[in-house]
Structure 1
Amino acid sequence: MGRRQQYVYHVEPEVFPDDFPDRLDRFRQAAGFTWGGLARELRVNARTVRRWKAGSRVGSGHLISLFALAARLGLLHHLLPEAGKPVAATELDTGSGGCAVCLAIQD
């Protein structure tokens, strides 16, 4: 019997946009929230949101909550401009499967 093969995993460093505080502010304004209102909606401490505004990185759990809120409000493109603007439900071709993410957001 030979030695077991060792697996080496190369983990790419996370890429977090430098302009995230600006994106967050655009989203907040488009949603009509104050900074405190955004914190309440996300169920986080207002101090946490102030740290994000100052440039601290958002933890993965909070980021998921933020993206879910933005998607629910149809404002995800403010946080992720590379994702593009939302597609109207009438423009989806649901007969051929459509976009699973878009269909899930519609429900």
Structure 2
Amino acid sequence: MGRRQQYVYHTLPEVFPEDFPDRLDGFRCAAGFTWGGLARELRVNARTVRRWKAGSRVGSGHLVSLFALAVRLGLLHHLLPEAGEPVAADLDAEGAGCAVCLAIQD
């Protein structure tokens, strides 16, 4: 009997965006956080956030927390512009969302 052929699939890794510090700053401003406030909200050290601001890559666990916060505030489009801006139907029934996004939509 012959050996079974094993398939190996190679995928290219996603490239971390070069402009992530700018995206992070835009998100922070839209959310109304200071850099220290963003660190507190994400429960990370302020030094960690300063590293992100300087261009260090964000670890996967922190990235999940950051995206979860952005989704909760309705500001994911600041971190992922390719996701598109939310429309009014995407907000929950109570009309929750950040004041900045609601002002932009009006």
Q: Same fold (TM over 0.5)?
A: yes
Which residue does 2:98 correspond to in 1? none
Counting aligned pairs with the same residue, the percent is 87
Superposition deviation, residue 47 in structure 1: 1.1
Q: Tell me the secondary structure at the aligned position of residue 5 of structure 2.
A: coil
* Cα distance in 1 between the residues matched to 2:5 and 2:62: 38
**Structure 1 residues 4 and 106: CA distance shift in structure 2, 3 A:** farther
- Cα root mean square deviation, aligned: 1.6
Structure 2 residue identity aligned to 1:60:
S
Q: Flag structure 2 segments of 5+ consecutive residues without an equivalent.
A: 94-106
Which residue does 2:60 correspond to in 1? 60
Which residue does 2:36 correspond to in 1? 36
My pick for the range that moved more, 51-60 or 1-10, is 1-10
Q: Flag structure 1 segments of 5+ consecutive residues without an equivalent.
A: 90-101
Superposition deviation, residue 106 in structure 1: 3.4
Q: Tell me the secondary structure at the aligned position of residue 55 of structure 2.
A: coil
* Cα distance in 2 between the residues matched to 1:49 and 1:34: 11
My pick for the range that moved more, 4-13 or 48-57, is 4-13
Q: Tell me the secondary structure at the aligned position of residue 4 of structure 1.
A: coil
My pick for the range that moved more, 19-28 or 5-14, is 5-14
- Superposition misfits of 4+ residues, deviation over 3 angstroms: none
Structure 1 residue identity aligned to 2:36:
G
Structure 2 residue identity aligned to 1:15:
V
Q: Does 1:106 align with 2:92?
A: yes
Structure 2 residue identity aligned to 1:22:
D
* Cα distance in 1 between the residues matched to 2:92 and 2:63: 21
Number of matched pairs: 93
Which residue does 2:9 correspond to in 1? 9
Q: Tell me the secondary structure at the aligned position of residue 33 of structure 1.
A: coil
